[in-house]
Each structure stands twice: as structure tokens, then as C-alpha cells.
Structure 1
Amino acid sequence: MKKADRTKAFIIEKVAPIFNKKGVYGTSLSDMTSATGLTKGAIYGNFGSKDALAMACFEFNLRFLQKGLYKSIAINGNAIDKLSALVTFYQHHYRDVAENGGCPLMNSAIETDDAHPLLKEKVQTTFDLWRKEIITIVIDSQRKMEVSPMVDPSSFANTFIALLEGGILVSKTLNAPEYFNEVTNSLQKFIESNLAQNDHA
């Protein structure tokens, strides 16, 4: 890795948690220089602008959650197994997510507006890809007759994401990890009750 690439990686690693906690607006130049020990010129010399750095930090913060998604997709089993594994991943790593400022996807979705069009577009695209991954998981299992054919994959994906993201938001806001456990336990039941085959259908 070249020196310039190492410097960029260092800046992202130090600044990404701050952006996730304070947001693009709330993160000041002094926050960035204090975290990195670098000057304004060194930071912007590597990224050109605050928005460019924010995009890089958003992608960095997402990697951990994407890892959980792709690990869940890769396991053997049907849609119930895969989505239950994803919920379990969040349960096991809730504290890590909370200490890093919460879900970067949700945080950026709340903050982004027309002032940050590129970041807004990135957030929208990421949400859409997440929905499509869940929809594909459900449809694949329906085609194999592993789960109920009665469920609407799109509606299921929307509810799944809303419950998971809402659980993180409320739990972190109230500083109540036990609430997240309650929500995710309910989400596990939602997965099983909606996708399980009905022998009497």
C-alpha cells in the first residue's frame, strides 16, 4: 500500500466513528484534526472536501454490517435460517454497533438531505440493495418450496428492516440494550410465523 493510501485509510479509520456519532453537519474540522493529529490541509489534501471524506467514512462504517449480511446469506439453509442468522448477528454485536454511534445506514438516512446529494443517493442505493437481498432470499426459498408461498417478499423485507432498524434506534436512544433484545426476539418470531409452511394451507 502506498503512503498516500495508508494516510487515507488512517484518516477514515479515525474519523468514521465521529461522523457516525455526530453526523456530517455536527463533525467539526477540530474534531477531525484532533482525532487524526493531522492538519486541515493534510486531511482535505487527501479527500478534497468534507463531503468526499463523509462518503468514504460512510462506506467504512457499513462494512461491518455488510459482513453480517453476507455471512448470513452464505450459510446453508432456507430463508428462515438465513434471516434468523442475520438477526442473531445483530444481537451478538449490538453493543459494538451502539458504541460506534448506531447503525450508519439509519444515521445517514436521518441526516442526509439536498445539501448532501451524493451521500443521500448512496444511502438510498444501500437501502434498496438490502431490500433486494432479503427479497431474493425469500423468493429463492419459495421457489424451492422451503417457506410459505403466501408471503409477499417485498412487504416482508420492508417490515424486517423497519423492525431491526427501529429496534436499534430506540434502544440506543434510551440506552436500553434489553429493549433491542425484546425487539429482535419478536423479529425472530415474525420470521418464523410468516415464512413457515402452513400444513393446512
Structure 2
Amino acid sequence: MNLDAVRTVAVVGAGTMGNGIAHVFARCGYRVILRDVERRFLDRALETISKNLDREIKKGMPVMVLVEVIRALQTSDTTFETTMKLCEKLEKKPVAVADSPGFVSNRVLMPLINEAAFCVMEGVAAPEAVDAVMKLGMNHPMGPLELADFIGLDVCLDVMEVLFEGFGDPKFRPCPLLKKMVAAGWLGKKSGRGFYTYLR
């Protein structure tokens, strides 16, 4: 397939991932068709994309370059190779990953965030201390709880539930504190409160 002939892309689902994908294609000059089951999801996604594009103009491009390219059993070589090349054209770094719950990024990252939440719940350390240990001791650019607030605690909980259900392994059991915080509407930065408090 000639990638230069591809000028329009369709994204199904306007949630966190969908609006992020639509944003990247729009930024690179593609015509984007974004679909979702409800208009309010589309409106929220369009507002987010607009804000992100404005922020990029002022502060530069976002730092996330990774794209996990998931190859299912039925994925043809042509589809796979085209997807890898398209990612590179978007100035992303594609990494081939098998179809499995959480793929690699969420399967590794979310249990780390979940365990950090257990540390807070069990009184091992305050959120600031947990994050300081991971930043200073493990050279992470952002602590796991600060990152969780940035991602959205509801998203973190959803992923942990997918992992727990997908593998049936107790090591993926979502932290009860995470569940309570989401139920209380403490979703992190987007709601103004999570493991930290944010000015809105």
C-alpha cells in the first residue's frame, strides 16, 4: 500500500486512547473521522484535542513516541507492515507486541501503580514518599502516584480490572484504596484531586 495515498483515517471510540490517536493524526495533517456512541464523548474529545493542539503550538510536541502495534492471529503481513510504516511516518516508534491483556506497557506499569497505592493504603509511606523513592532511587522521571493522577485513577482502575479478569491472577487485584478514590470522584488531575490536590 502507498502510504502517501492515505489522507483520511477513522478512529472508533473518542475516549482517552481514541482522542489521543485522533490528535496525532490531525497534528500530522490527516483528515480524521472520529466516532463514538454518544455526542457528549465526541464533544469532550474534540475539546481535549483542541487544547492539546494549542498547547503544542505554545510549548512544543508531546514526548510520547511509543506505539504498541498489536498483532492478532488473523493480522496479515501487509496490514502489520503498513501499520508499522504508518507509525514511523507519524514520527512514532512502533514496537510489535502480541495480543494479550494489557499488552506490555499496561501489564508492567499498572501493577506498579497499584502496588504504590497499596503502600499508601497500608501506611507504608505517604504518596510524596512513595514517589520520591521511585524518582530518586529508580531514576523514574515521575513517581507512580503522580503518574496515576496524570493518567486518571479511573483509567488505572479500569486497566487493573481488565488484567485481573484477563489473567485471573491475584497479583492483578485492584487496590481497594484505588477503588474508593474512584468511587469518591477523586480521579486525579482531571478532577482536581487524586493522590495529590490540584488547582482547577
TM-score class, shorter-chain normalisation, is 0.3 to 0.5
Q: TM-score, normalised by structure 2?
A: 0.35
Pick the structure with more strand per residue.
2
